[in-house]
Amino acid sequence: MVEDLLNNLPNYRLIHALPTPSPISAIAFGHAGHLFAGSDDGSLRVYDLSSFKVCKAIRGLPTEISSVCCFKRPGSDLRDVWLACGRQAYSFQMESEKLVQAVSDATAVIELCDDEEDVLNELALNPGKYLAFSTDSGTVGVVDLSTSAITRMKSSHSSICGIVRFVPDRPREIVSGGYDSCLLHFDFLQGTVLSRRDIPPFPAAGGMSLSPPFIMSAAISTTGVMAAGTADGRLWLGFGGEKGGPSKSTKKKRTRKWDGLNPDDEHLEKIAEGPIVAMAFSDPSTLTVSTLLGSIKQYRIVRQENQELQLAKIWEGQTRISKVNALIIDERRFVVAGLDDRSKGLIEIWNREGPP
């Protein structure tokens, strides 16, 4: 099976590089033809990917845009957006007549941090229903968009929480990851922890770990496979919540709740020498990851006939980005962004070529 896979490899080619005045801190696809890029200087640019030109923008937000979430509003073509910026989340309708919007044009502004020293890191959107958020203080929370009510989880991370995700097909469950090397799984309506997984340190020479396993990136496939990347270059995969997938665990039967953090159904492998800072699934078995220094690797998760898992690297490339902050992917391309060697912003668009 693996041999057949490796004879049918994909290929990606860099087709365009977009320099920006300020480092890019967050990116998202609008629809297939638009790229939303948030910057350290509090600006957002919307690029038309057919011309690579800016078609819309937002300027004047008070600080770095740390996260971008796009969503479709009925009756609109250009996607609307939620932005994390400092202690607040801002919503904008991008189909405004204005080509360049300002803070005063926001359709909603929600204060999400209790502490004046705290800042938002990531937003995740369940369109039309809930907005999840994570913060530097370790807090994880959810906003009910129909009422603007904020629910903060009763447990938090003991360090920076950079990751939050909704669990697919689980209407009330989210997962977070933090610099405390911990993944937490919540019922966000009750604010309670359903499960957790602490990533163990990597045993280096002499039994000491040179770099703590801070969780720097994460992704969940549409089938419920959880992936997380660590500061010490390891990839953690959790299969306990995989919809329709086989389970290695014989200790207990599957339950109705997502069991994606079950240590009996996991795979942990060192795949890089530096931090894994961004990742995304393009399909349920294909994961693309980036290191801090711009090394991109794409893996296929392969099940052997005996149900043993093999992580097969199917493509590898190197960007010109000096420090990667974000990566997104669809069936046609991947986009990676961050800053160049002059501390300016840089976005690279790589198109897929070869077998699907």
pLDDT single digits (tens) 153-199:
999 999 999 999 999 999 999 999 999 999 999 999 999 999 999 99
Q: For 306-344, write each residue's pLDDT tens digit.
A: 667 889 999 999 999 999 999 999 999 999 999 999 999
Supply the pLDDT for residue 31.
83
Instruction: Find the domain containing 134 and state its range.
Output: 2-353
- The residue type found at 330 is D
Spatial CB neighbours of 266, under 8 Å, sequence gap ≥ 6? 197, 236, 237, 238, 239, 240
Residue 105 to residues 23, 101, 128, Cα–Cα distance (Å)? 24, 6, 20
Q: Could you tell me the CATH number of the domain that includes residue 277? A: 2.130.10.10
The reply to whether the predicted model has a pTM over 0.85 is: yes
Contact of 241 with 224, CB cutoff 8 Å: yes
Residue 38 structure tokens: 């948030």
pLDDT 10s digits, 252-280: 444 578 999 999 999 999 999 999 999 99
pLDDT at position 254: 46
For the chain, what percent of residues have pLDDT higher than 70? 91
Number of domains within the chain: 1
Which residue bears the tokens 């913060």?
Answer: 135
Let me know: does 315 contact 10? Beta carbons within 8 Å.
yes
Percentage of residues of the chain with pLDDT beyond 90: 82
Q: What is the pLDDT of residues 94-152, one digit of tens each?
A: 999 999 999 999 999 999 998 999 999 999 999 879 999 999 999 999 999 999 999 99
Residue 250 — pLDDT band, cuts 50, 70, 90?
very low
Q: Is 71:91 a contact under the CB 8 Å cutoff? A: no
